[in-house]
């Protein structure tokens, strides 16, 4: 059976792959699994449910709530709220389960269901497997007063905004910021939190209509943010994605500041404050080599994981680190959040700007991004990526030529018959040439 759960919950085309029936079945199964694990022992179980602004979130929310309540779980409706807000309130309200309906940066027709355990943490893989196995089973349905109650929780936005501001004690007065809300889940709470923290905020793409989420805006389309920063003479701009668990930035000159650069800024800020645990930051193998060099030069260790914020968070939890992230803009500040939080990230970057009186361009300049070229080689036997001797020899030869000035990474796709060839080098032309030479070898040696 094909797994329903991916690296970030269950996603698919809403009302096609992701139906109301599937949402209801998943919710009932989740309630049963958690009940059997003893999570509900001694009390009436409570779940919180939030969603982004996709129009399909309305019927999926109704299906999830119906499933949970029919299984005897009381439900608090949070309404439209970012994923990290749902995670925060799962912990704050002592809920046994959190549910977020969002497909993050995906196009509007898609949607997704993400379950969160008590405390706002991601469910373990084993629990997700158990939920899939329990779907559509026969069960004894509660009746009468044993069915779940459903209530709106009116303070969701206020509570989450207050939490964000409390995590940003340095006043942001004097900073003018453009915030691209991607017409998504942060359209209300994002500007509110930044304003409450003292910044002057110009909000763009903050008028969701159910259809325009991520539509030529947000962290995957930075052009309008760059233009707005220049138009308004802002000190910086930040772009969130649909569920606001990631952000990218733009400096006052309109230049993009990516997740690696944001992570570098925050790592040095926390090092200087004495709050960076073990003076180490967690990143993925796709982080730019310039980031690794910059951290090494600053005396900050870098622990690298597989690609995916779940692996970053796992490494942080195991070793007790409190800062990690990805080039895509997922940044996890675990002193304040259990997941990536784009608004919190923006606030922390602005706090560093305010505390140092330094522009974002200067702060991001702590690292020099090496040119990075990525080539996807399709229709190959990805399982032999690490086994082919000719390919290994070609990689070794190119690595020897690059030395410490570059890096090569071959990554088999998790879902396709495809190998990704990533090369970093001192110049774009060199990275391009090495990447395409190796791509030719991959295609020749691993052809199906």
Phi, then psi, of 307 in degrees rounded to 5: -70, 135
- What's CA 277's distance to the chain center, in Å? 21
For the stretch 8-33, what's the b/e string if a residue is b when 16 or more beta carbons lie within 10 angstroms of its beta carbon? Answer: bbbbbebeeebbbebbbbbbbbbbbb
3 state SS of 409 = strand
Separation of alpha carbons 168 and 349, rounded Å: 10
**Three-state SS across 343-383?**
HHHHHHHHHHHHHHCCCHHHHHCCCCCCCEEEEEEECECHH
Separation of alpha carbons 373 and 440, rounded Å: 15
Furthest CA-CA distance within the chain: 73
Contacts of 138 (CB under 8 A, 6+ apart): none
Separation of alpha carbons 111 and 213, rounded Å: 11
Q: Which of 56, 104, 187, 328 is catalytic?
A: 104
How does DSSP assign 241-306, residue by residue?
-TTSS-EEEEETTS-EE-HHHHHHHHHHHHHHHT-SGGGEEEEETTS-HHHHHHHHHTT-EEEEE-
Contacts of 322 (CB under 8 A, 6+ apart): 270, 275, 276, 277, 316, 333, 334, 335
The 8-class DSSP code of residue 149 comes to P
Beta bridge partners of 11: 112
The 8-class DSSP code of residue 148 comes to P
Choose among 4, 111, 6, 96: nearest CA to 49.
96
Choose among 349, 368, 404, 395: nearest CA to 290.
368
Q: Does 104 qualify as catalytic in the annotation? A: yes
For strands 323-325 and 331-333, give the pairing: antiparallel
Q: List, by residue number, the catalytic residues.
A: 104
């Amino acid at each position: 059976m094909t797994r329903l759960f991916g690296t970030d919950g269950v996603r698919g085309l809403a009302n096609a792959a992701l139906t109301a029936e599937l949402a209801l079945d998943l919710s009932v199964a989740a309630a049963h699994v958690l009940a059997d694990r003893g999570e509900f022992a001694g009390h009436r179980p409570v779940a919180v449910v939030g969603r982004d602004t996709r129009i399909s979130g309305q019927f999926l929310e109704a299906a999830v709530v119906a499933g949970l309540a029919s299984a005897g779980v009381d439900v608090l409706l949070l309404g439209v709220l970012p994923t990290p807000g749902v995670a925060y309130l799962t912990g704050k309200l002592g809920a046994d389960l959190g549910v977020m309906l969002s497909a993050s940066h995906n196009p509007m027709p898609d949607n997704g269901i993400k379950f969160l355990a008590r405390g706002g943490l991601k469910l373990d893989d084993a629990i997700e497997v158990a939920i899939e196995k329990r779907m559509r089973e026969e069960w004894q349905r509660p009746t009468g007063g044993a069915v779940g109650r459903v209530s709106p929780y009116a303070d969701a936005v206020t509570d989450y905004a207050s939490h964000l501001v409390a995590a940003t004690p340095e006043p942001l007065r004097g900073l003018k910021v453009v915030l691209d809300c991607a017409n998504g889940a942060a359209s209300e709470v994002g500007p509110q939190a930044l304003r409450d923290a003292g910044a002057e905020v110009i909000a763009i793409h903050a008028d969701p209509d159910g259809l325009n989420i991520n539509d030529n805006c947000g962290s995957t389309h930075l052009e309008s943010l760059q233009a707005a920063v220049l138009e308004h003479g802002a000190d910086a701009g930040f772009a969130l994605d649909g569920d606001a668990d990631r952000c990218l930035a733009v400096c006052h000159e309109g230049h993009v500041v990516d997740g690696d650069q944001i992570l570098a800024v925050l790592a040095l800020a926390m090092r200087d404050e004495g709050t960076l645990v073990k003076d180490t930051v967690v990143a993925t193998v796709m982080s730019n080599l310039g980031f690794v060099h910059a951290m090494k030069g600053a005396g900050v260790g870098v622990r690298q994981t597989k690609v995916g914020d779940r692996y970053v968070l796992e490494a942080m939890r195991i070793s007790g680190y409190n800062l990690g992230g990805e080039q895509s803009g997922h940044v996890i500040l675990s002193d304040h959040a259990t997941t990536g939080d784009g608004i919190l990230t923006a606030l922390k970057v602005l706090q560093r700007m305010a505390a140092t009186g330094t522009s974002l361009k200067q702060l991001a300049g702590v690292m020099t991004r090496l040119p990075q070229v990525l080539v996807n080689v399709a229709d190959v036997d990805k399982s032999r990526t690490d086994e082919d001797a000719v390919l290994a020899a070609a990689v070794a030869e190119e690595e020897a030529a690059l030395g410490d000035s570059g890096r090569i990474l071959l990554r088999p796709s998790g879902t396709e018959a495809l190998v990704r060839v990533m090369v970093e080098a001192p110049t774009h032309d060199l990275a391009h040439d090495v990447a395409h030479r190796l791509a030719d070898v991959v295609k020749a040696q691993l052809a199906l």
